Amino acid sequence: MARDLIVDGELVLYGPVGGDWWDDSGFTAMDVIQSLAQMDGDITVRLNSGGGVAWDGVAIYNALKAYAGAVTIVVEGVAASAASIIAMAGDEVEMRAGALMMIHNASTITWGTAEDHEKSRELLAKLDGQLAAIYAERTGLDLAEIRALMDAETWMDAAEAIDKGFAGTADDEKAAKASAFDYRLYAKAPKALQSQSKKLKAPAAAQPWGVLMNAAAPAAAPRKPVKTTPSAAPAAKPEASMPDTSTAAPAAANDNAITEAKAAAKARIGGILNHAEAAGREALAKHLAFETDHDVEAAAKILAVAAKSGETAQQEESPAAHADRRAKASGLTAPTGGDKKPAARADWSKITARFKPRSA
């Protein structure tokens, strides 16, 4: 179920872009779309994110750009990686004193043959080009300079971001603490952020920023040690010839569960990539396989209504009609009641009605 991100009439985007594998933090593109459907007029978006999944970042950027009212984005702590793309959607972009913004090239994990790795390289190169174009449009810098900044993994404070055109104004209010994230994933993250990451009990963002091409299923969260109360008389130690098997069964069961989960994930991915409807729609098939949790049947429905490479639509389709068609194809329908959150009761036509092209 989509999370309601509205707080006191403002859209609050804190945590990993695309959500987090390890806990319930972060936000997804659908969370943002559902929340925007409840909002009217000009809005403020409060952003504090270390990054996340590129596709969600781009989808959120497009949703904010299509919103009918003016959008002011305030970078309250950090807008790194995928979050920096979201920041580019603001009609106005403000940065608090001490806030940071970072841009870099997308990354991914691939397993397989040389051909598999080459396909990943081609997709990442295309994605980097699209992201560079978004930055260039916002800043007015030429693509060569933008690509150099991305290659270098560039971290900017408010003054530097304003100077380069990534932000418009600085806010005197002190920056919030950077959102929880494993900033050690980044080669040039400030030492303060890396030190903050060392204190995490679990990774705040296990996946690299970008498109997860052939990423393995996330490992099971580490088991917490069981606290025991000492008894009056300590239990006798097992004989040396009798190995202690008290934890063997649970450990074996856990290993089996991980193996089965990986096998199921591999079967699902293969089913989507090798489906007949994937022919000519390979890029979308990869996105559905590695960036969503759609099963094979749901993914096939989405692929069936998507244009193949080289095909052009016979007539232009409005953003609302396009979103409605894709939603129907993927089986998305508005909940019919019983949910406590107002966002869950909004029907799809109301959601898509908000997204009208905004004049320049």
Nearest-CA neighbor of 298 among 282, 277, 323, 283?
Answer: 277
* Sign of the dihedral through C-alpha 187, 193, 198, 203: negative
- Please confirm, yes or no, whether 359 is among the known catalytic residues: no
Residues 48, 19 contacting (CB under 8 angstroms): no
- Please confirm, yes or no, whether 287 is among the known catalytic residues: no
Neighbours of 349 (CB within 10 A): 13
Nearest-CA neighbor of 178 among 73, 81, 49, 51?
Answer: 49
Residues 182, 203 contacting (CB under 8 angstroms): yes
Of these residues, 81, 120, 179, 197, which one is catalytic?
Answer: 81
Residue keyed to tokens 């999944």: 53
How far is it, in rounded angstroms, from Cα 285 to Cα 276?
11
Residue 122 DSSP SS3: helix
How far is it, in rounded angstroms, from Cα 127 to Cα 352?
26
Residues 94, 169 contacting (CB under 8 angstroms): yes
Residues 177, 99 contacting (CB under 8 angstroms): no
Tokens of 126: 């295309």
Nearest-CA neighbor of 50 among 5, 86, 91?
Answer: 86
Of these residues, 35, 49, 84, 104, which one is catalytic?
Answer: 104
Quick one: 62 exposed, middle or buried, by C-beta within 10 A (0-12, 13-18, 19+)? Answer: middle
Residues 103, 160 contacting (CB under 8 angstroms): no
Q: Beta strand pairing status for 154-156 and 92-97? A: unpaired
Residues 355, 66 contacting (CB under 8 angstroms): yes
Annotated catalytic sites, by residue? Answer: 81, 104
